[in-house]
Structure 1
Amino acid sequence: MKSDFTVNEFAQVLSVSLPTIWKYIGRGDIAAYRVGRSVRIPHDELARIRESNRIEVTKNCDS
């Protein structure tokens, strides 16, 4: 079983800044939980974020 992401790891995987991740956690856009003084983000959040931000590509055959 994989351990959940730290905020720093999650930011690195998504190639965004730490303040961006904290902003999304604060707004409730990213689910996170606290273990003592540490904040963790479940692995399921990565799949959910990737799916919700997926870009649909359609092939244009008008040429």
Structure 2
Amino acid sequence: MGDTQVNCLYCGKKIAGDVAECPHCGAVSHFQTRGYRSGARLRFVLFWIGVAAFCLFFALWLPR
């Protein structure tokens, strides 16, 4: 996206549109054009698979 400049939502200063946090105040940028953090989607999917496996284990293990 190149040289896109946006205003920081917290301090109001101009920042690049593809930075993760404001270099002026350190706040998280809500204008990231990069998408998900590296590996975040995989961790999200693995977490929910783990939760489902945990629930299934206890559903089958508990007495009826």
Shorter-chain TM-score range: under 0.3
Quick check: which one's strand share is greater? 1
Larger radius of gyration: 2
Quick check: which one's helix share is greater? 1
